[in-house]
Amino acid sequence: MNKINNYEEQCAFQEILKIIGGKWSMSIIYILFSGKKRFNELQRTVPHINTRMLVKELKNLAEYKIISRKVFATVPPTVEYSLTEKGKKLEPIINDFYNWGVDNLYEYPGK
Amino acid sequence: MNKINNYEEQCAFQEILKIIGGKWSMSIIYILFSGKKRFNELQRTVPHINTRMLVKELKNLAEYKIISRKVFATVPPTVEYSLTEKGKKLEPIINDFYNWGVDNLYEYPGK
DNA sequence: CGGAATCCGCGTCGATACTG
DNA sequence: CAGTATCGACGCGGATTCCG
């Protein structure tokens, strides 16, 4: 009854992780749960990320329609990022994931 | 009411991802949902993983008590890996994650 | 069988500087 | 403000070989 564990499922898993398993993706999505954010806001909120990485991740997430990018033709330019419906569906999952981590990982201080 | 998005939470997130956000961790855990597995079984089931990476991941996961490692003093040696209670708690989360990926990512064929 | 050890390329990531 | 461009290093991860 358990169709888990076949080779194709594993490959699918790896594809999924390639998209949102990166170093920064989850952090960015996590931040966007609280609403749309501008580029600089994101950069300030995600610890240690740099411009290039943030641009790259945002582009990637937008490509898969997890986030949407809205440009306002103002001076200076304004760009807003927000979650799409797909992205919003991740909220409970990522929250569970985060909570699991806090509950189960943090009693191990040392590397 | 949303305490999300502060700097420390973000750092915590990055710590968690460092532990189970690697290229192979989730795949291995996913496989172990269906029961204990031996080293070679895992290596055969996870696509493209090699010995070194598998050893490394198993060691890491065991260190954080997500999986447990049982050695049987037989000849030839037998080692069984299985999920701990902590690891089992991940099952619904990773399943949700996987399902989300299949539902939302697979209509994008291209790179 | 289940690892450990070594060697090494290649891609990722980071820092910096620059642009519309 | 919101990126783009370029460069260089470092470390991840792959292949191979050896060991108990």
d(CA A71, CA A81): 9
CATH annotation of A23-105: 1.10.10.10
Q: Which nucleotide is nearest to B24 (CA to C1')?
A: D13
Confidence of residue B54 (pLDDT cuts 50, 70, 90): very high
Q: Which H or E run contains B99?
A: helix B85-105
* pLDDT of A11 strictly over 90: no
> Is residue B1 predicted with pLDDT exceeding 60?
no
> Which of A9, A49, A104 has the most B C-beta neighbours within 10 Å, making it the best mutation to test the interface with B?
A104
A39-96 pLDDT, tens digit per residue, is 999 999 999 999 999 999 999 999 999 999 999 999 899 999 999 999 999 999 999 9
Listed by start position, the domains of chain B span 23-105
Residue A109 above 50 pLDDT? no
Residue of B nearest to A5 (CA): B31
Say if B31 is an interface residue toward chain A (CB within 8 Å): yes
What pLDDT digit, counting tens, does each position of B82-111 carry? 999 999 999 999 999 999 999 998 765 443
pLDDT average, residue stretch B11-37? 91
The model's pLDDT over A85-104, given as tens digits with 9 standing for 90+, comes to: 999 999 999 999 999 999 99
Give the contacts of B25 (CB within 8 A, at least 6 positions apart).
B19, B57, B60, B61
pLDDT of B6 > 90? The answer is: no
Collect all residues of chain B within an 8 Å Cβ-Cβ radius of residue A27: 10, 13-14, 17
Q: SS3 string of B46-92?
A: CCCCCHHHHHHHHHHHHHCCCEEEEEECCCCCEEEEEECHHHHHHHH
